[in-house]
Amino acid sequence: MTRPQNRSSGGRRRASHSMESVLTEAVALLDEAGAPALTFRALAQRLGGGVASIYWYVASKEELLDRATDHVVGAVLTDIEALPSSDDPIDDLRAMAVTLFDAIVRRPWLGTYFMRNTDIQGNALRLYEKLGRQTLRLDLSARQRFHAVSAITGVVIGSAVDLGQEPPEEVLDGTVTHDEFLSRFAQTWRELDPEEFPFVHEIVDEFDGHDDVDQFRSALDLTLAGLRLQAGA
């Protein structure tokens, strides 16, 4: 019932894994073709072993997802810890949040699974702590600090779930680029009744070809501006 550790080499016929290799290959599958590509059978084939072997390392798919997520969150955490510290905690918060969001942009599947089951995902908790420590530098109550970090992670996740959605296959096939798909979408909006949808018409040009990172940064800046106001700085 104890946990396994690396072995230098495996036999000829039987495969020999390790927690590390399982997680690495799981992440590779997620990176290559998104969440639906991560199946126990695909993972077993990649590891050159049997399906049931994976169950010695994880008890369920949920745990596999949690561990894989925490695995890459660990790397994000390293990036965040390498960030230079400024004299403005809110600027530091912004830099951390942007770093986190960038990682999700590179790995869209992260958005869906990030920050579930904080008991297993130890790195998510460390990340939470890392964000929160900046709020300790601000003149806020404990409750305000708690809500501030919740708000920031909320903005990140809220912007990230948009990215997490599987593209509707015609863009995954490569027959249509992501921008073209957005433009088509914008076109259907343009054909709406301008009387009934004045706002949609007002912003359709902004939507067409918009950048997800810009969108996120704007949302984040609104929250951080509110926070700065609250901190009286």
Positions in the binding site for DNA (CB under 7 A): 1-5, 7, 10-11, 13-17, 38-42, 44, 47-53, 55-57, 59-62
Query: In the set 170, 209, 226, 233, which binds a copy of itself (CB under 8 A)?
Result: 226
156 near a copy of itself, judged by CB under 8 A: yes
58 belongs to the binding site for a copy of itself (CB under 8 A): no
> H or E element: which one contains 173?
none
The two tokens of residue 110 are 């992260």
Q: Residue 193 in 3-state DSSP?
A: coil
Give the count of beta carbons closer than 10 Å to the beta carbon of residue 103: 20
The CA dihedral of 161, 164, 168, 171, to the nearest 10 degrees, is 120
Residue 195: CB atoms within 10 A of its CB come to: 7
| Partner touching 20 among DNA, a copy of itself, none, CB below 5 to 8 Å by kind | none
Residue 137 as a binder of a copy of itself (CB under 8 A): the answer is: no
Residue corresponding to tokens 């997802």? 65
Residue 55 near which of a copy of itself, DNA, none (CB within 5-8 Å, type-dependent): DNA
Q: Based on the shown chain and the rule CB under 8 A, indicate whether residue 56 belongs to the binding site for a copy of itself.
A: no
Q: Which is nearer to DNA, 54 or 76 (CB)?
A: 54
Per-residue contact track with a copy of itself, 169 to 188, x per CB under 8 A? ----------------x--x
Determine the Cα–Cα distance for residues 150 and 141; give it in Å rounded to an integer. Answer: 14
The sign of the torsion formed by the CA atoms of 106, 110, 114, 119 equals negative
Helix or strand run (H / E) with residue 108:
none
- Among residues 116, 187, 209, 233, the one that binds a copy of itself under rule CB under 8 A: 116
Which one of residues 205, 209, 213, 233 is an interface residue with a copy of itself (CB under 8 A)? 205
198, 209, 213, 233: which one contacts a copy of itself (CB under 8 A)?
198
User: Would you count residue 125 as binding a copy of itself (CB under 8 A)?
Assistant: yes
Task: Please select the residue that binds a copy of itself; options are 29, 97, 100, 224, rule is CB under 8 A.
Answer: 224
Whether residue 157 contacts residue 111, with contact meaning beta carbons closer than 8 Å, is answered with: yes
